[in-house]
């Protein structure tokens, strides 16, 4: 039994159609695991939303659209009676459309804007490289950088907190860093609004709904192709290998990669007891370009893998699809009564079959005999 599982796994992965479809599914899931994991934070930074508002909007828009896309994908496969080759074409088409939606995200966002002591110097002057927050107006304030609560000055510049704006009163007035005139030296809670940011957010929300729905439509065709490319006795095991690859490749590395990329765009880190803490301010343009570009690279990789699958099937369809055209009914999917447990029992009772099984896997020309052996 210990020798059977590695050889069956190697046999499955030696099938280029199975391997390409499985890796393409991993790339698609990687986009969901990485992009969607930080999407709430992305909305919060790009469009000045609160954390609760960003998560509520995602729950009411992107997630229902993705569920609808999975349903529509399965419905189209059934109604159009798609073969494996047709399912690959459908996966390529929806992947291409969703990638185009991701490209549009590169242009939908808001700039960081002028932030005193970070992107512009106090007095709205050009900030020199590596210049720190040491203006005379807050030299005696002992402002903390462990957390921020931005305020928007009447001069249109964002300050990290009321302390950094030099405000001496709780109602955010008499802010010495904003203006020498006490009547004009006032601030409001929150970052200063960017022009055109509201319109960009509404457009982004519509596009993310369409992108979620169309991207999810590729899931059902991918599973259909994968199931049809293996013999009936190995369908359940093939699905197990697929989900194992999804966990190892699709869910673990992407959040780490996205997180490292996002951290590289940080402009100002908090300081707690002299040690670096969380990021307080990002470069929104770099954040948007890097964050979206990683997703585009993953979607492009999935498209190339789907294209490779399509070329393999087009050249030799019958070699990779042993079940022919037609529908894959639930009865056909569950036709095999062979499990790994009774496979081990059968091989124990019939040692000759075990030897024959191993040699059949090693000989590619006799690999088709594996079904009868099992």
pLDDT tier for residue 122 given thresholds of 50, 70 and 90: confident
Nearest residue to 279 (alpha-carbon basis) of 111, 119, 145, 157: 145
Taking 60 as the threshold, does the pLDDT of residue 253 lie above it?
Answer: yes
What confidence score (pLDDT) does residue 53 get?
82
Taking 70 as the threshold, does the pLDDT of residue 106 lie above it?
Answer: yes
Average pLDDT of 53-80? 86
What token pair was written down for 187?
A: 């601030």
Least reliable range by pLDDT among 137-151, 189-203, 294-308, 347-361: 347-361
249 vs 128, which has greater pLDDT? 249
Least reliable range by pLDDT among 99-108, 169-178, 211-220: 169-178
Taking 60 as the threshold, does the pLDDT of residue 149 lie above it?
Answer: yes
43 vs 371, which has greater pLDDT? 43
* CB distance 221 to 83 below 8 Å: no
For the packed helices 197-216 and 39-47, what is the interaxial angle rounded to 10 degrees? 160
Taking 50 as the threshold, does the pLDDT of residue 226 lie above it?
Answer: yes
Taking 80 as the threshold, does the pLDDT of residue 279 lie above it?
Answer: yes
Least reliable range by pLDDT among 28-42, 88-102, 162-176: 162-176
Reported as a single tens digit per residue, the pLDDT across 178-222 is: 766 666 678 888 888 888 888 888 888 889 999 889 988 888 888
To the nearest whole percent, how much of the chain has pLDDT over 70? 79
Nearest residue to 206 (alpha-carbon basis) of 74, 53, 101, 324: 101
Reported as a single tens digit per residue, the pLDDT across 327-339 is: 344 344 444 444 4
What confidence score (pLDDT) does residue 172 get?
76
Cα distances (angstroms) measured from residue 284 to each of 114, 151, 194, 225, 302: 12, 18, 12, 40, 27
DSSP classification of residue 175: B
277 vs 361, which has greater pLDDT? 277
Taking 80 as the threshold, does the pLDDT of residue 43 lie above it?
Answer: yes
Looking at mean pLDDT, say which of 124-138, 277-291, 338-352 comes out highest. Answer: 277-291
CA distance 175 to 189: 13
Reported as a single tens digit per residue, the pLDDT across 67-95 is: 898 899 888 888 888 888 888 889 899 99
pLDDT tier for residue 293 given thresholds of 50, 70 and 90: very high
CA distance 274 to 106: 36
Average pLDDT score, the chain: 77
What confidence score (pLDDT) does residue 302 get?
92
Task: Provide the total of helices (H) and of strands (E) in the chain, helices listed first.
Answer: 16, 7
Taking 70 as the threshold, does the pLDDT of residue 362 lie above it?
Answer: no
Cα distances (angstroms) measured from residue 92 to each of 98, 217, 285: 10, 11, 30
What confidence score (pLDDT) does residue 368 get?
44
Average pLDDT of 55-74? 86
Q: Which residue ranges form the domains of the chain, and what is each CATH number?
A: 14-111+196-320 (1.20.1250.20), 114-193 (no CATH), 337-373 (no CATH)
To the nearest whole percent, how much of the chain has pLDDT over 90? 13
Taking 70 as the threshold, does the pLDDT of residue 125 lie above it?
Answer: no
Average pLDDT of 162-174? 77
What confidence score (pLDDT) does residue 374 get?
38
What confidence score (pLDDT) does residue 115 get?
84
174 vs 302, which has greater pLDDT? 302
Average pLDDT of 273-297? 87
Taking 90 as the threshold, does the pLDDT of residue 299 lie above it?
Answer: yes
What confidence score (pLDDT) does residue 128 get?
53
């Amino acid at each position: 039994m210990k020798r059977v599982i590695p050889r069956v796994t190697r046999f499955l992965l030696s099938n280029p159609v199975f391997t390409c479809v499985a890796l393409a599914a991993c790339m698609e899931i990687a986009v969901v695991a990485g992009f969607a994991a930080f999407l709430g934070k992305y909305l919060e930074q790009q469009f000045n939303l609160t954390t609760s508002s960003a998560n509520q909007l995602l729950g009411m828009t992107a997630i229902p659209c993705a569920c609808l896309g999975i349903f529509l994908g399965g419905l189209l496969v059934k109604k159009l009676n798609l073969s494996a080759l047709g399912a690959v074409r459908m996966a390529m088409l929806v992947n291409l459309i969703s990638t185009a939606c991701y490209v549009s995200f590169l242009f939908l966002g808001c700039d960081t804007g002028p932030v005193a002591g970070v992107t512009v110097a106090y007095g709205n002057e050009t900030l020199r490289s590596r210049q720190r927050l040491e203006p005379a107006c807050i030299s005696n304030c002992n402002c903390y950088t462990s957390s921020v609560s931005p305020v928007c000055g009447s001069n249109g510049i964002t300050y990290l907190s009321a302390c950094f704006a030099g405000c001496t009163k709780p109602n955010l007035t008499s802010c010495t860093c904003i203006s020498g005139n006490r009547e004009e030296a006032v601030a409001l809670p929150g970052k200063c609004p960017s022009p055109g940011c509201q319109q960009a957010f509404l457009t982004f929300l519509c596009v993310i709904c369409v992108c979620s729905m169309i991207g999810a439509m590729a899931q059902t065709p991918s599973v259909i192709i994968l199931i049809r490319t293996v013999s009936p006795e190995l369908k359940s095991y093939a699905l197990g290998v697929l989900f194992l690859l999804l966990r190892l490749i699709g869910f673990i590395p992407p959040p780490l990669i996205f997180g490292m990329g996002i951290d590289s765009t940080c402009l100002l880190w908090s300081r707690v007891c002299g040690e670096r803490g969380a990021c307080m301010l990002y470069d929104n343009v770099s954040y948007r370009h890097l964050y979206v570009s990683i997703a585009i690279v993953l979607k492009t990789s999935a498209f190339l893998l789907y294209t490779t699958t399509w070329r393999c099937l087009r050249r030799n369809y019958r070699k990779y699809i042993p079940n022919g055209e037609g529908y894959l009914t639930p009865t056909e999917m569950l036709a095999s009564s062979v499990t790994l447990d009774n496979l081990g029992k059968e091989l124990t009772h019939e040692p000759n079959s075990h030897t024959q099984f191993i040699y059949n896997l090693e000989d590619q020309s006799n690999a088709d005999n594996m079904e009868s052996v099992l």
